[in-house]
């Protein structure tokens, strides 16, 4: 059975803010930071260490850093962009849900109808801040390519059983100070979801559900955070990470020449395909392609790579040349949506 965290992520990914996290609150080791190296489990990001901070930084004091650690350096002034009030308070929902009513008084009330078998929504109790490293920053890509194997070994040494492709490098986030979120799966008739809350404090908020008697509905919700203190100015920190952007590494092996585009199936590379590569790269359409002949010349160079950009999750794919009849054909940096299937 698909978990609520998966449904929530799959339904809200098309909003193109990054990977939706079912557990936005910081772990006991602190909030998500740009440059974090870690992994995602059940909708929560877990940091192993931060690649930008020095080894003796308090952020890296919990587990240490990999052997021979070298901090990631990049032009922060030019590449890191933060927007304080990127999104206003209120709801974000999947395309399967439609807002049919809203009202404001002592609090804010929203009502949605869901016409599909799955849906998800999140209500922000405060403005959201977005911070991200521009996709044109090659320093993150090159750094991950160089040190990814060491990160996987470091995670294994800590006792984690992870595939190397599960290790990610955070390049952006969208955070707020309070939130309420929900994911639902139904079998039968359409259903309606309602929520009423005081904007600014979402802890303890509950959603209301209206369904027909013959409809079967699986519905899960969360809200938070529960604060044990109130700042003097009444403004809580925006440390709750609703959406995450990151790079990940993926390795593939193909037989013969292949053309791989982001979000598409593998295809044979024909002469007409080869002739179109320059135009496709220039137009930057839905994928990133590099010539198989060009890659063959550089296969021995571990830094051989091209960059492909999208707006959500970055994925570094490397096709390797094994010691057999198989050979790598395309090197691709795929900046693409990740719904946990990559």
| pLDDT attached to residue 17 | 95
State the average pLDDT over residues 56-81: 96
| pLDDT attached to residue 232 | 76
Q: Tokens 């309070």 label which residue?
A: 178
Residues 186-199 have pLDDT tens digits of: 755 556 666 655 55
207 has a pLDDT exceeding 60 = yes
331 has a pLDDT exceeding 50 = no
Instruction: State how far the Cα of 50 lies from the Cα of 48, in Å rounded to an integer.
Output: 7
The encoded tokens of residue 261 equal 């585009």
Residues 14-37 have pLDDT tens digits of: 999 999 999 999 999 999 999 999
| pLDDT attached to residue 323 | 39
| pLDDT attached to residue 306 | 31
Distances (CA, A) of 1 to 6, 7, 185, 218: 10, 10, 11, 11
| pLDDT attached to residue 310 | 40
DSSP notation for 203-232: TT--EEEE--TT-EEEEEEEEE---S---T
| pLDDT attached to residue 118 | 86
Label residue 280 by pLDDT band (50, 70, 90). very low
Of all residues in the chain, the percent with pLDDT exceeding 70 is 62
Instruction: Centre a 10 Å sphere on the Cβ of residue 40 and count the other Cβ atoms it contains.
Output: 21
Nearest Cα to Cα of residue 238 among 100, 134, 136, 85: 85
| pLDDT attached to residue 20 | 97
Of all residues in the chain, the percent with pLDDT exceeding 90 is 43
State the average pLDDT over residues 206-223: 68
* Residue 303 contacts residue 145 (beta carbons within 8 Å): yes
Handedness of CA 151, 154, 160, 164 (dihedral sign): positive
Residues 108-144 have pLDDT tens digits of: 777 777 777 888 989 898 999 999 999 889 999 999 9
Per-domain boundaries in the chain: 4-245, 253-335
Label residue 295 by pLDDT band (50, 70, 90). very low
Q: Containing H/E element for 300?
A: none
Side-chain-side CA neighbours of residue 321 (13 Å): 14
Nearest Cα to Cα of residue 11 among 135, 94, 112, 115: 94
The encoded tokens of residue 183 equal 């994911």
Label residue 216 by pLDDT band (50, 70, 90). low
Nearest Cα to Cα of residue 262 among 319, 330, 312, 335: 335
């Amino acid at each position: 059975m698909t978990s609520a965290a998966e449904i929530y992520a799959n339904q809200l990914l098309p909003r193109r803010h990054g990977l939706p996290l079912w557990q936005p609150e910081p772990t006991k080791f602190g909030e998500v930071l740009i440059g974090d190296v870690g992994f995602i489990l059940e909708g929560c990001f877990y940091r192993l260490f931060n690649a930008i901070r020095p080894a003796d930084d308090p952020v890296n004091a919990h587990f240490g850093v990999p052997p021979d650690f070298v901090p990631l350096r990049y032009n922060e002034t030019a590449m890191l962009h933060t927007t304080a009030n990127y999104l206003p308070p209120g709801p974000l929902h999947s395309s399967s849900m439609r807002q049919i009513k809203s009202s404001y008084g002592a609090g804010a009330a929203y009502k949605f109808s869901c016409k599909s078998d799955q849906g998800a929504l999140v209500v922000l109790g405060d403005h959201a801040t977005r911070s991200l490293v521009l996709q044109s920053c090659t320093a993150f890509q090159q750094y991950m390519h160089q040190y990814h194997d060491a990160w996987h070994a470091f995670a294994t040494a800590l006792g984690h059983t992870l595939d190397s492709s599960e290790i990610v490098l955070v390049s952006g986030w969208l955070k707020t100070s309070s939130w309420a979120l929900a994911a639902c799966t139904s079998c039968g008739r359409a259903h309606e979801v309602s929520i009423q809350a005081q904007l600014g404090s979402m802890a303890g908020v509950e959603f209301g559900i209206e369904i027909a008697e013959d409809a079967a509905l699986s519905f899960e919700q969360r809200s938070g955070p529960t604060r044990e203190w109130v700042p003097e100015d009444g403004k809580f920190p925006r440390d709750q990470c609703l959406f995450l952007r990151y790079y990940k590494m993926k390795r593939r092996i193909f037989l013969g020449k292949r053309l791989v585009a982001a979000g598409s199936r593998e295809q044979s590379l024909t002469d007409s395909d080869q002739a179109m590569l320059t135009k496709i790269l220039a137009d930057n359409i839905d994928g990133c392609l590099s010539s198989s002949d060009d890659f063959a010349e550089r296969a021995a160079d571990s830094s051989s790579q091209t960059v492909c950009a999208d707006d959500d999750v970055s994925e570094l794919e490397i096709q390797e040349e094994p010691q057999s009849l198989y050979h790598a054909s395309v090197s691709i940096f795929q900046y693409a949506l990740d719904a946990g299937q990559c």
